[in-house]
């Protein structure tokens, strides 16, 4: 499989504080790729470099072969529409129905009529496993798991090539977390999407990630598959592994 995203020698910082020190990674088309690391290690920040929210100080990021930060504005605008993102604390608009929340990007970026937008939004609402009846509800009327699904539908509505998920399972109970994982896998399988997800969830690591990286002390301490990690000399996730095997 070819690389859909490749970060080469990336350094990021907030002011004087270096967050990532000359790191490189590559994400293959149609894989579910994880960003792991302790709290505050810079997972969200590194994800933001791939969606134009955090410009690296040094290095290059290639999105489908294009140097994304060093291309012209029109190319950047096109790349932005090829990514869908569900943010870590991404809230739905509380004053809008689920149907309108899901359609909001189409209102902004397409020339479809209101009726067409509603139809497309309804398609995605059902695709993420919500019932049609949920479309007319407001976010406050939905359970945590349903809200996450609605946020996922909103991230998918422009049919992105790459779906970015920052902690999609946070705040969900174990059963809803596993349901979210299988939904993510089904979406990848049926749409051929590439999924990049930040996660703390040990079960997700074992169950759905094809490959992942681990950030530790500003560097990428590991990149590869779970079985490669199990064979490595040192496992930065050892504590997590122990906790799961009990």
Ligand X SMILES: Nc1ncnc2c1ncn2[C@@H]1O[C@H](COP(=O)(O)OP(=O)(O)OP(=O)(O)O)[C@@H](O)[C@H]1O
Binding-site string for ligand X from residue 88 to residue 107, where x marks contact by CB under 6 A and - marks none: x-------------------
As measured in angstroms, the least distance from the Cβ of 121 to ligand X is 29
Rounded Cα–Cα distance for residues 45 and 54 (Å): 7
As measured in angstroms, the least distance from the Cβ of 88 to Mg ion is 5
DSSP string computed for the chain: --EEEEEEEEEEEETTEEEEEEEEEEEETT-EEEEEESTTSSHHHHHHTTTTSS--SEEEEEETTEEGGGS-HHHHHHHHTTEEEE-TT-PPPTTS-HHHHHHHHHHHH----HHHHHHHHHHHHHHTT--GGGGGS-GGGS-HHHHHHHHHHHHHTT--SEEEEESTTTT--HHHHHHHHHHHHHHHHHH--EEEEE---HHHHHHT-SEEEEEETTEEEEEE-HHHHHHSS--TTHHHHHHHH-
As measured in angstroms, the least distance from the Cβ of 46 to Mg ion is 10
Candidate list 23, 33, 34, 37; residue touching ligand X; CB under 6 A: 37
7 near ligand X, rule: CB under 6 A: no
Candidate list 45, 49, 101, 169; residue touching ligand X; CB under 6 A: 45
Work out what residue 61 binds among ligand X, Mg ion, none; the CB cut-off runs from 5 to 8 Å by kind.
Answer: none
170 near Mg ion, rule: CB under 5 A: no
44 near Mg ion, rule: CB under 5 A: yes
44 near ligand X, rule: CB under 6 A: yes
Q: Comparing C-alpha atoms, which of 101, 110, 100 is closest to residue 158?
A: 110
As measured in angstroms, the least distance from the Cβ of 42 to ligand X is 4
Candidate list 7, 34, 42, 103; residue touching ligand X; CB under 6 A: 42
199 near ligand X, rule: CB under 6 A: no
* Token output for 51: 């969606």
Rounded Cα–Cα distance for residues 199 and 36 (Å): 6
Rounded Cα–Cα distance for residues 56 and 74 (Å): 20
34 near ligand X, rule: CB under 6 A: no
Region near ligand X per CB under 6 A, out of 3-11, 33-41, 72-80, 156-164? 33-41
41 near ligand X, rule: CB under 6 A: yes
Closer Cβ to Mg ion, 4 or 165, answer by number: 165
As measured in angstroms, the least distance from the Cβ of 242 to Mg ion is 23
As measured in angstroms, the least distance from the Cβ of 99 to Mg ion is 29
Residues at the site binding Mg ion, with contacts judged by CB under 5 A: 44
Residues at the site binding ligand X, with contacts judged by CB under 6 A: 14, 19, 37, 39-45, 88
């Amino acid at each position: 499989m070819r690389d859909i995203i490749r970060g080469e020698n990336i350094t990021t910082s907030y002011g004087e504080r270096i967050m990532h020190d000359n790191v490189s990674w590559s994400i293959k088309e149609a894989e579910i790729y994880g960003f792991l690391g302790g709290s505050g290690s810079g997972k969200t920040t590194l994800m933001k470099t791939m969606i134009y929210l955090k410009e690296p100080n040094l290095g290059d990021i290639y999105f489908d072969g294009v140097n994304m930060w060093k291309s012209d504005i029109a190319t950047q605008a096109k790349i932005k529409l090829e990514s869908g993102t569900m943010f870590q604390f991404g809230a739905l608009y509380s004053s809008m129905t689920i149907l309108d929340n899901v359609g909001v990007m189409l209102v902004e970026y397409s020339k479809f009529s209101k009726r067409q937008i509603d139809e497309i939004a309804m398609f995605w609402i059902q695709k993420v496993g919500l019932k049609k009846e949920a479309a007319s509800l407001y976010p406050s009327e939905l359970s945590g798991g349903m809200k996450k699904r609605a946020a996922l539908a909103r991230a998918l509505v422009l049919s992105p090539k790459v779906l970015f998920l920052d902690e999609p399972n946070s705040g969900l109970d174990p059963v809803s977390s596993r349901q979210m994982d299988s939904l993510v896998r089904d979406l990848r399988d049926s749409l051929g999407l590439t999924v990049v997800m930040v996660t703390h969830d040990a079960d997700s690591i074992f169950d759905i990630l094809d490959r992942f990286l681990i950030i530790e002390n500003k560097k990428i301490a590991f990149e590869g598959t779970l079985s490669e990690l199990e064979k490595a000399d040192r496992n930065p996730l050892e504590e997590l592994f122990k906790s799961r095997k009990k």
